[in-house]
Amino acid sequence: MKKLSCIGVDGEIREYTVSISKCLPNICIEVEAENVGAGKLEMALMPEGELLWVKYIERPYTEPFVGRGVAETLIIELVMFFKKQLTSTSTYSACGEYGRSESATKMWKRLVARSLALYDEVSDRFVTSIDISS
């Protein structure tokens, strides 16, 4: 995966560059905008059984990343790339673990509304439900 096309809340399509690397025990993903100095979105995935756990998503609060659908589109593309469903972090944070932020919860709820994810109340986690058979 090299390029990521995202549709922002303004309806505009923008392209981003994606790089994936192993930084054991995680899989590290970086997404950069064309604007030099705009920062980059960073995501870490960790294998969790048959799933990949979205350990964290960090994005800069700069114009190329706010309201652009980058994390949401990236999650969908990563499911297809790795042929594995992704699961979120819960909202609570244990010692040394990340908790799901309010903005991440909103993003996951948008995926649920599009029938691309499910929410499990017991574990307080979202899991993608994207067809990976093709």
Domain presence at residue 103: yes
Domain presence at residue 28: yes
Half-sphere exposure of 2 (CA within 13 A, CB side): 0
User: Cα separation of 116 and 130, whole Å?
Assistant: 5
Give the position of tokens 């909202």: 91
- The winner for highest mean pLDDT among 17-31, 60-74, 95-109 is 17-31
Give the count of domains, the chain: 1
Report yes or no: 57 and 73 within 8 Å, Cβ to Cβ: no
Domain presence at residue 87: yes
Considering the entire predicted model, what is its pTM? 0.86
Whether pLDDT at 95 is above 60: no
- pLDDT band of residue 34 (cuts 50, 70, 90) is confident
- pLDDT above 70 as % of the chain: 92
Residue 57: give the domain boundaries.
3-128
Q: What residue type is assigned to position 49 of the chain?
A: G
Domain presence at residue 134: no
**DSSP code for 36:** T
